[in-house]
Amino acid sequence: MPELPEVETIRCDLLTQIRGRYFDFVTLLHPQMVQQPSSEEFCIGVAGQRVEDVRRRGKYLIITLTSGKSLILHLKMNGVLLFSIPSSLSESYARAIFNFQDGGVLYFCDRRKLGMMWLVKNDNEVVGKLGPEPLEPGFTVDVLRGVLQRHNVPVKALLCDQSCIAGIGNIYSDEILFATRIHPLRRANTLSPDEVVRLHQSIQHILTTAISKSGASIDTYRRPHGVAGTAHLSLQVAHRGNKTCYVCGSPIMRIEVRGRGTYFCPRCQGDTSHALLNKER
């Protein structure tokens, strides 16, 4: 699933390419992806609108229109926004096609048909329950400490919970915990003050670095012009099961934490004294 670095990269690319342009019409090849309003009202509401801004909230893209409404998109597991469909991607994966009055086209492709779209007057109808943005100035160590202290769950599960912190998913939570040398099964509310500080630093460093590398192209993720990101080339543990840890040489392990495949180094992150005694995943 595209996470904060990938969605932020897409946001920046779209901002430079579509701000100020006018939508002509929308072709919905999978109308079920529209969550609100009806698919017919969605198409009518987008047609003829000028793009005023492109923002991000967590993993959501928010396109502000001249009507004052917001076109909100969530790419889910495999969604990608492209100005043209490359030969490596079947045209049958196109689920929505946004046509611009100047002749340009933006495709919303999604192999699994999980992507979602909304057209709403108030963004909070869709993103209002998200937690704090981890790269915003307001995300301080104290804010993170408060979030951690309120939850007696595996820290990996908390990092992936969008109501706790917005934008972090499976890949970057593994990388963040490895950088902090924290076992993914540690209960969130057992972290020491020093660990909270280091976790805060790792969250911001890992996400910022991934953005600078345009995100991780592990699966279908591509930037709108079809270019791959390079952040996956620097991953330390994520998707490296049974491969050697770059730091200590131990094999990277994979476990499940609350249904999520989780990668970690048992030696670098091997402090299990605070891990869940019942081996909760």
Alpha-carbon gap, residue 44 to 23, rounded angstroms: 11
Find, among 172, 133, 177, 122, the residue nearest to 155 by Cα: 177
Q: Is 266 a catalytic residue?
A: no
Q: Out of 260, 266, 267, 281, pick the active-site residue.
A: 260
Residue 123 token pair:
């963004």
Q: Out of 2, 5, 154, 224, pick the active-site residue.
A: 2
Alpha-carbon gap, residue 135 to 246, rounded angstroms: 27
Q: Is 181 a catalytic residue?
A: no
Q: Out of 6, 8, 57, 59, pick the active-site residue.
A: 59
Q: Is 280 a catalytic residue?
A: no
The amino acid present at 277, given as its one-letter code, is L
Q: Is 175 a catalytic residue?
A: no
45-71 b/e (C-beta count within 10 Å ≥ 16 → b): bbeebebeebebbbbbbbbbbeeebbb
Active site residues: 2-3, 59, 260
